[in-house]
Every structure is written in structure tokens, then in C-alpha cells.
């Protein structure tokens, strides 16, 4: 099930109304892009995407930082982690995206009733958002039904290429190999990270992405470069460089609270051992990152590369 299936009924009615909105939109109001210094990364955790984790009972697993990207520079990591991946009996990722989970996520991203994105944001932001989403392969009728958080999530990454992102490639590999697959979060918990914020706050974050879209896309490319160099500290700095004071509540929900939850759910997996754990690389560094939390709990960490 995809976004086209959710919106195809009545799409022509929406399309007729949209063009008049786009034509009459006021100029887009933009604020300067904020910046901030990210939390420090301990020197011991500054480099490395793949880490051997040894539990106090001696059980060993691999913790790997992914990027949600199908860029060839990112997908090249698949070959590097192949031996550790093959040795694992269990594959763990942030959310186990099976068919039901994808359907739940798809439903949550779109308004189900008469509401639309045009009701949540002003006309200029609505028009600019639709223009940018069209570059990501999302037509006007579908884009008009998206919630602000879903639109900003779509625009936070480059337009989709022919290859799926690395984490989904690894998920397919794990299923093909018959590995046990576990998710550290439910789809509902993942959605709640965004929907806990008011529509107004979501709209402000969407405005920032839309206003500075070109800058943000260059930042993603720069993040891929440092990711390919296995420079975790630089990746962390890049990922949080525009998280100013007005975005700290969102960063807390997106990273720190989720890190704490994922950490607690990882403990029994790590005690059993022989697991390959793949989470977004930004969840690894910092004292409140998974590496820091594991070290504080007495787990031995060794950077594999």
C-alpha cells in the first residue's frame, strides 16, 4: 500500500482547487536558519560505524549505525559489515517495517477526513511545500493530504533514488537469511515522536525545511560524506548544527528519549548475544547516545571500523 492508494479517490477534486491556491499564494515568510553547537562526543566514540558490544556475561553482538539513505556511498557499507551480519542470529532495527506496519505508518501520515495541509499552514507555505514535494515524486493531491510532520520528514531527505535505503536493504537481507527480526519501537511510538507536537509547531518546523531546502539538502550530502568516512563525531555535529534553542524539545523527543527507550529494550538482546543491531548513526554518539549509555552500564565497546 502506498500514498497513491490513500488519495486516489477524489484526487481530481483536490487538484482543481489546488491550482487556484497556488496562483494566489502570498510571499513565503522565512526566518534566518538557526545554528547550535552539538553536545560533545567522547574521543573513544568519535570514529566508527560498527561496534562490537560485549555484555557483562560475555555475550557479543554488533551495533551498527545506518543512514536512512540509498545513496551508493551509504550502501557501500553493506559489504563491509557482511561478516558481522552473517554471524548474527537476530537482526534488530529501530522499527520492524512489515506490511502491517507500513500500512499503519501510511495511514498516520495523511489526514483521513476533510482536513488538509492547507488548513494547517498558510497559503504561501502550502504552495511552496507542494512544489518541493513534487520533486520527491508526490503529486499535489497526495501532498495536500499530508500532515505537516509527514511533509517535513519527506523533505528532510533527498528525493528517492532507484535504490532503497540501507536499513531496508539489511532488513530484506535478514529476512532472506531466515534471521529473527526485532524492532526496538512500535510504529505508534515512532509516529508519536512527531504527533506529540502541536500542528503549529509542526508547521514551524516545516517552514524551516521549506525556506532552507537547498541548504538542508547540501547538509544531507555533507553528512553522507562524513558517514562514508566513518567520522561519527563529524556526523553528529552536522546532524545537529541547525538544532537551535527552539528545536531542543524536538531533538529531545527524536534522539534522547528514543535513545533511552531503545537502550532499555536492547539489554535483553545483548545479554543473549549474536545480534546485529542497526539503528540510525545519530543514535550512537554522545553521553546520551547508545554508545555512552552502554559504556555507563558496563558493556565493553570496540570499534570494528
| Average pLDDT of the residues in 75-101 | 93
Q: Is the pLDDT of residue 184 over 90?
A: yes
Q: Of 125, 161, 163, which Cα lies nearest the Cα of 143?
A: 125
Identify the pLDDT of residue 101: 78
Distances (CA, A) of 256 to 67, 225, 259, 305: 18, 24, 5, 25
Predicted confidence band at 215 (pLDDT cuts at 50, 70, 90)? very high
| Average pLDDT of the residues in 170-186 | 96
Phi-psi region of 279 (alpha: psi -120 to 50; beta: other; left: phi over 0): beta
Identify the pLDDT of residue 26: 66
| Average pLDDT of the residues in 34-41 | 78
Identify the pLDDT of residue 38: 74
- Cβ contact 232:49 at 8 Å: yes
- Cβ contact 244:275 at 8 Å: no
- The pTM score is 0.88
| 99-109 vs 187-195: helix crossing angle, rounded to 10 | 20
Predicted confidence band at 286 (pLDDT cuts at 50, 70, 90)? confident
DSSP 71-105: -HHHHTHHHHTHHHHHH-SEEEEEE---HHHHHHH
**Rounded to the nearest 5°, which phi and psi values hold at 41?**
-110, 125
All three cell numbers of 64, joined, read 551498527
| Average pLDDT of the residues in 175-189 | 96
Q: Is the pLDDT of residue 75 over 50?
A: yes
Q: Where are the beta strands (DSSP E) in the chain?
A: 50-54, 60-66, 90-95, 180-185, 275-280, 300-303
All three cell numbers of 145, joined, read 493530504
Mean pLDDT for the chain? Answer: 89
| Average pLDDT of the residues in 98-105 | 80
Predicted confidence band at 36 (pLDDT cuts at 50, 70, 90)? confident
Amino acid at each position: 500500500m502506498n500514498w497513491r492508494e490513500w488519495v486516489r479517490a477524489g484526487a481530481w477534486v483536490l487538484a482543481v482547487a489546488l491550482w487556484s491556491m497556488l496562483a494566489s499564494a502570498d510571499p513565503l515568510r522565512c526566518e534566518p536558519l538557526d545554528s547550535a553547537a552539538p553536545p560533545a562526543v567522547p574521543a573513544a566514540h568519535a570514529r566508527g560505524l560498527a561496534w562490537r558490544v560485549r555484555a557483562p556475561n560475555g555475550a557479543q553482538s554488533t551495533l551498527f549505525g545506518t543512514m536512512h539513505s540509498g545513496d551508493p556511498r551509504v550502501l557501500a557499507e553493506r559489504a563491509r559489515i557482511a561478516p558481522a551480519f552473517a554471524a548474527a542470529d537476530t537482526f534488530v532495527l529501530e522499527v520492524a517495517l512489515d506490511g502491517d506496519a507500513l500500512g499503519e505508518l501510511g495511514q498516520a501520515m495523511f489526514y483521513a477526513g476533510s482536513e488538509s495541509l492547507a488548513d494547517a499552514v498558510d497559503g504561501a507555505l502550502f504552495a511552496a511545500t507542494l512544489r518541493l514535494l513534487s520533486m520527491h515524486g508526490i503529486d499535489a493531491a497526495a501532498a495536500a493530504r499530508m500532515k505537516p510532520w509527514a511533509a517535513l520528514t519527506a523533505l528532510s531527505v533527498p528525493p528517492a533514488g532507484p535504490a532503497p535505503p540501507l536499513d531496508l536493504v539489511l532488513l530484506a537481507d535478514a529476512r532472506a537469511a531466515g534471521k529473527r527480526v526485532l524492532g526496538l519501537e512500535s510504529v505508534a511510538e515512532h509516529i508519536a515522536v512527531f504527533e506529540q507536537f502541536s500542528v503549529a509547531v509542526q508547521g514551524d518546523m516545516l517552514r524551516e525545511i521549506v525556506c532552507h531546502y537547498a541548504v538542508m539538502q547540501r547538509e544531507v550530502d555533507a553528512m553522507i560524506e562524513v558517514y562514508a568516512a566513518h567520522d561519527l563525531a563529524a556526523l553528529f555535529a552536522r546532524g545537529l548544527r541547525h538544532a537551535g534553542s527552539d528545536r531542543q524539545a524536538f531533538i529531545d523527543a527524536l534522539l534522547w528519549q528514543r535513545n533511552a527507550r531503545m537502550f532499555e529494550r536492547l539489554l535483553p538482546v545483548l545479554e543473549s548475544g549474536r545480534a546485529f543491531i542497526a539503528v540510525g548513526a545519530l543514535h550512537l554518539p554522545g553521553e546520551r547516545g547508545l554508545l555512552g549509555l552502554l559504556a555507563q552500564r558496563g558493556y565493553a565497546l570496540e570499534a570494528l571500523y
